[in-house]
Amino acid sequence: MRVLGVEGTAWCASAAVFDAEADAVFIESDPYEPDSGGIHPREAAEHMGGAIPRVIETALEHAREEYDDRAADESPVDAVAFSRGPGLGPCLRIVATAARALARTLDVPLVGVNHMVAHLEIGRHRAGFDSPVCLNASGANAHLLGFHDGRYRVLGETMDTGVGNALDKFTRHVGWSHPGGPKIEEHAADGEFVELPYVVKGMDFSFSGIMSAAKAAHDDGVPVEDVCFSLQEHVFAMLTEVAERALSLTGTDELVLGGGVGQNDRLREMLASMCAERGADFHAPEPRFLRDNAGMIAVLGAKMAAAGDTVAIEDSAIDPDFRPDQVPVTWRDDAESVARVPSAADGEDRGGDDRAGRDAADMRGAEATVEVDGDGVVKRRLPKGYRHPELDETLRRDRTVAEARLLAAARQAGVPTPLVRDVDVAEATIAMQFVGDRDLAAALTEDRARTVGEHLARLHDAGIVHGDPTTRNVRVGREGSPENGRLFPIDFGLGFSSDHVEDYAMDLHVFEQSIEGTASEPERLVAAVEDGYRAVGDPAVLDRLRGVEGRGRYQ
Ligand SMILES: C[C@@H](O)[C@H](NC(=O)OP(=O)(O)OC[C@H]1O[C@@H](n2cnc3c(N)ncnc32)[C@H](O)[C@@H]1O)C(=O)O
Ligand SMILES: Nc1ncnc2c1ncn2[C@@H]1O[C@H](COP(=O)(O)OP(=O)(O)OP(=O)(O)O)[C@@H](O)[C@H]1O
Ligand SMILES: [Fe+2]
């Protein structure tokens, strides 16, 4: 199978030929470079109009010259694959028109590829991993994806702008030309650390606060090298932290990176260091496959074509908002899954006591190690080698303080939590009561989902935001024991006090996302969470939740 790919979602006019037998990829690209400001959709489309036919011609010539297994009147490729979205409408239309015309002329099938899924599949293809967590760090996007039950699920994502766009906004403010990411990397080499906001919410994150603070710091005369250095340290530590959390939640030990920001050495270094520390395998494809390129479109196009996943020309409309979780994944086995930890996906209670024989390594979360000590545990936030030491110290200290305070406050609000016995802020350790006999992830039922909804409502009524409510962060008490089946939220390290409906809605969103990422039929579990919340809490939060779910994607 040999496939021609065409890419042109935003800035890169590109065509490629993938020969599956030789696993060889030829890429010809022609980038649009704006004179000033950011990417201008009309100018970008004008660029595509001229460049797309040229790059396609070069790729076809390559196919004809490189491979002599076909007659001159035969098509040099077996299919034409194109980026159907997401991206800028005017650019997508030009690419689609060219791809359709070519498929018709060559009389071969057309394949419509999701650009974001291509960004991650190229990493999986090059790494040879089975079912990794995928971090897409591109211009207009930033998200964590994992395959489960026939689709790529969004495990976490930006709640406002894509990571590259956020960096580019800062460099525009400073007056540098597009793209800004590489310039930030250059200047960061001479910079020193200054503190900026750091925002993760479960496996979601946002960049608006840090970008405003970076602009303000620059306006206040902080040397631009220091701002660049610190932007990288904060933004990439956030991405690395959520990637680690996704590895921990799914139990997977494979991570791949995709997207143009993945070309940044510091980001790759942090991810590699995090994976090495936890014994996971990390793969970042070579830069030509990270930035936008048609090679990734051709490679995924070949997998789709082999699975018979082609599209009739009349059905091949573009989709500027095409989300990766909308794609029916025809080229993978439905039984494969990113989730390696037992999840009660079928709603069955798997039972079992995880306490017996569990050693410290078993009780490791993404942030901390948890050692069992008699009827208690000692939770220790160890330093993370990938983080700048100053940032590392601040996060470990602040989270230890927040966790100890909120565990007690939650109890007072009527939500069962482990009793705190001792806190050592300097060592970032908390000694607390051992609770439950397993995590909710292994025992998720509708009843329990409803109870978590009630607990979250009680926390919110008391002005407490959990910050990281997932199925791994709720412990389940044994029926008939003194705990009598109670559910104990734990791990309040990302928690804070707030009276904003938005923060409460975000908390619910994080919990629902953790169910959706791993459960097979999440709908009824999610409905049960909301029933429980509605019974106890403020209905305005559920209304706001609908807004949070559609927030800020592809800006
Ligand atoms: C929808 C699609 O068009 C879009 N593609 C895209 O944004 O191009 P991509 O090549 O994946 O990423 C470009 C971004 O990558 C950043 N970038 C490039 N080199 C960088 C570096 N060394 N450090 C940091 N950022 C870098 C640029 O500043 C720019 O924001 C996407 O995938 O979101
Ligand atoms: N008080 C407790 N009683 C029993 N088990 C506990 C307790 N605290 C933590 N654990 C176990 O240890 C694991 C890790 O703890 P915790 O979630 O607090 O750490 P973390 O590193 O902050 O996790 P995360 O990956 O969510 O960031 C939990 O999933 C749970 O199984
Ligand atoms: Fe991209």
Find out whether the beta carbon of 245 lies less than 6 Å from any atom of ligand 2. Answer: yes
Whether residue 61 is annotated as binding a ligand: the answer is no
Residue 422 annotated to the active site: no
CA dist 258 and 300 (Å) reads 14
232 C-alpha to ligand 2 centroid (Å): 29
Both 95 and 146 in one domain: the answer is no
Both 317 and 412 in one domain: the answer is no
Of 223, 201, 232, nearest in space to 473 by CA: 201
What pLDDT band is residue 341 in, cutting at 50, 70 and 90? low
Provide the residue count of the chain.
555
Number of domains in the chain: 3
Both 233 and 133 in one domain: the answer is yes
Percent of the chain at pLDDT above 70? Answer: 95
In a domain, 341, yes or no: no
Quick check: 24 and 3 in contact, CB under 8 A? no
Does the pLDDT value for residue 483 go beyond 70? yes
In a domain, 45, yes or no: yes
Of 497, 337, 484, 320, nearest in space to 416 by CA: 484
Whether residue 368 is annotated as binding a ligand: the answer is yes
Name the domain boundary from 234, 266, 284: 284
Indicate which residue of 78, 160, 437, 468 is catalytic: 468
Both 145 and 161 in one domain: the answer is yes
In a domain, 340, yes or no: no
State residue 358's pLDDT score: 46
Name the domain boundary from 326, 351, 382: 326
pLDDT per residue as tens digits for the range 119-150: 999 999 999 999 999 999 999 999 999 999 89
Q: What's the token pair of residue 271?
A: 């991810």
CA dist 549 and 248 (Å) reads 23
Both 447 and 505 in one domain: the answer is yes
48 C-alpha to ligand 1 centroid (Å): 17
Both 385 and 463 in one domain: the answer is yes
Top mutation candidate among 341, 363, 396, 511 for ligand 2, by most atoms within 8 Å of CB: 363
Ligand number, closest to the Cα atom of 290: 1
In a domain, 431, yes or no: yes
Both 188 and 86 in one domain: the answer is no
Handedness of CA 35, 37, 39, 42 (dihedral sign): negative
In a domain, 344, yes or no: no
Note down the domain range covering 539.
360-549
Tokens 């990176």 belong to residue: 257
Both 94 and 162 in one domain: the answer is no
Does the pLDDT value for residue 315 go beyond 50? yes
Does the pLDDT value for residue 531 go beyond 50? yes
pLDDT per residue as tens digits for the range 172-210: 999 999 999 999 999 999 999 999 999 999 999 999 999
Both 376 and 506 in one domain: the answer is yes
CA dist 132 and 480 (Å) reads 39
User: For residue 365, what is the domain's CATH number?
Assistant: 1.10.510.10
Name the domain boundary from 284, 317, 352: 284
Both 184 and 112 in one domain: the answer is no
480 C-alpha to ligand 3 centroid (Å): 53
In a domain, 342, yes or no: no
Report ipTM for this prediction: 0.96
What pLDDT band is residue 90 in, cutting at 50, 70 and 90? very high
Q: How far, rounded to the nearest angstrom, does the alpha carbon of residue 104 sit from its chain's CA centroid?
A: 37
Residues with CB under 5 A from ligand 3 (ion): 138, 292
Both 305 and 383 in one domain: the answer is no
Of 103, 85, 68, 28, nearest in space to 305 by CA: 103
pLDDT per residue as tens digits for the range 60-86: 999 999 998 999 899 999 999 999 999
CA dist 55 and 49 (Å) reads 11
pLDDT per residue as tens digits for the range 373-387: 899 999 999 999 999
Both 113 and 144 in one domain: the answer is no
In a domain, 372, yes or no: yes
Handedness of CA 9, 15, 20, 26 (dihedral sign): negative
